[in-house]
């Protein structure tokens, strides 16, 4: 497959960041950790990985803009890179081996390229609009599962400000647990979405995400033949509440969750 130059740059940047993350794992106890809010930590590694990604992209595209978790919005351009340098920081801090680097490139409001990189398994999930989604250069597709019965669903538990929706969330979880083969909470939304794209789980839902958690995963899923939407199945505008899945399971999950989605969570 011919890989677009922008995607190549994103892949290189993600691999470089992954190296920084993995190299730091033998000194987790001595990392500098700052709290950004309740259960929201940032380490020097999140920051170093983000600097590496932005620096690498800037070398090639000095005029592009960035929306990055640790730096916020940088610059103005028709082309914006949406970056989560380390998705799954809580896992990382505990040495729990499930986290990823997530990079998306948006041009004139449309997602064009995406990379989610798991630096421990060295799995690289990529997509370019109209060119499909790939895992390590092999084409991936969402699952063919047809019914919630037998489906494996990933989710993210509320643990920060989204804890205020815990009752509604638990009602959703109960329904999903009662009607599927199982629920997983791996701890990296970017990887959860990549796993939907690869058919490893049939769907995913979470409340209160940020654009950098979901931008790359959204394009991966769309290019793998799946759907991404809000909790009510409306178009997803990046950040907020999300359901993603293979077309059949996406629709079934929207329907199953509907009675439990309060007014306050109906918007994306
Ligand atoms: C978090 C992870 C987690 C999800 C949270 C995200 P971070 O990102 O993706 O799985 O449940 O909502 O904020 O803070 O580790 O980059
Ligand atoms: Ca994140
Ligand atoms: Ca992060």
176-226 pLDDT, tens per residue? 999 999 999 999 999 999 999 999 999 999 999 999 999 999 999 999 999
CA of 220 relative to ligand 3 center, distance in Å? 19
Average pLDDT (132-157) is 97
pLDDT, averaged across the chain: 95
Q: Are residues 60 and 97 in the same domain?
A: yes
Q: Is the CB of 89 under 6 A from ligand 1?
A: yes
Residue of the nearest CA to atom 13 in ligand 1? 209
Looking up residue 105, the CATH number of its domain turns out to be 3.30.540.10
Q: Are residues 132 and 157 in the same domain?
A: no
Look at residue 1 and tell me whether its pLDDT is greater than 70.
no
Residue 144 in domain:
no
Domain count, the chain: 2
Q: Are residues 191 and 97 in the same domain?
A: no
Average pLDDT (45-60) is 97
CA of 102 relative to ligand 2 center, distance in Å? 8
- Residue 162: pLDDT band by 50, 70, 90 thresholds? confident
Of ligand 1's listed atoms, the one at least distance from the Cα of 86 is 16
Res 222: pLDDT: 98
CA of 237 relative to ligand 3 center, distance in Å? 19
The residue out of 104, 139, 174 marking a domain boundary is 139
In the chain, the percentage of residues whose pLDDT exceeds 70 is: 99
Residue 145 in domain:
no
Q: Are residues 129 and 158 in the same domain?
A: no
Res 111: pLDDT: 97
Residue 147 in domain:
no
Looking up residue 195, the CATH number of its domain turns out to be 3.40.190.80
Q: Are residues 177 and 230 in the same domain?
A: yes
H/E segment holding residue 112: strand 110-118
The answer to whether residues 91 and 99 touch, using CB atoms and an 8 Å cutoff, is: yes
**Boundaries of domain holding 28:** 5-139
Burial category of 62 from C-beta neighbours within 10 Å (exposed 0-12, middle 13-18, buried 19 and up) = exposed
Of ligand 1's listed atoms, the one at least distance from the Cα of 208 is 12
Res 69: pLDDT: 97
CA of 85 relative to ligand 3 center, distance in Å? 6
CA angle 116, 104, 118 (to 5 degrees): 10
- Residue 2: pLDDT band by 50, 70, 90 thresholds? low
Residue 256 in domain:
yes
């Amino acid at each position: 497959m011919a890989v677009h130059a922008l995607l190549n740059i994103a892949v290189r940047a993600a691999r470089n960041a992954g190296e920084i993350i993995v190299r730091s794992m033998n000194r987790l106890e001595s990392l500098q950790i700052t709290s950004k809010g309740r259960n929201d930590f940032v380490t020097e590694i999140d920051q170093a990985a983000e600097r590496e990604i932005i620096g690498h992209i800037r070398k090639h595209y000095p005029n592009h803009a960035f929306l990055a978790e640790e730096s916020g919005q940088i610059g103005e351009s028709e082309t914006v890179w949406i970056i989560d340098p380390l998705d799954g920081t809580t896992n990382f801090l505990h040495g729990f081996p499930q986290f990823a680097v997530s990079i998306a490139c948006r041009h004139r409001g449309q997602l064009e390229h995406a990379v989610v990189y798991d630096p421990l398994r060295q799995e690289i999930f990529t997509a370019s609009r109209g060119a499909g989604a790939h895992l390590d250069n092999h084409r991936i597709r969402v699952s063919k599962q047809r019914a919630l019965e037998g489906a494996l669903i990933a989710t993210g538990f509320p643990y920060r400000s989204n804890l205020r929706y815990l009752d509604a969330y638990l009602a959703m979880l109960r329904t999903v647990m009662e009607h599927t083969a199982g629920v997983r909470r791996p701890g990296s939304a970017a990887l959860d979405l990549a796993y939907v794209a690869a058919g490893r789980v049939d769907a995913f839902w979470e409340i209160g995400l940020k654009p950098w958690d979901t931008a790359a995963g959204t394009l991966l899923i769309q290019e793998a033949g799946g759907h991404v939407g809000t909790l009510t199945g409306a178009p997803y505008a990046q950040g907020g509440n999300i359901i993603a899945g293979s077309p059949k399971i996406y629709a079934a999950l929207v329907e199953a969750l509907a009675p439990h989605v309060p007014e306050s969570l109906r918007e994306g």
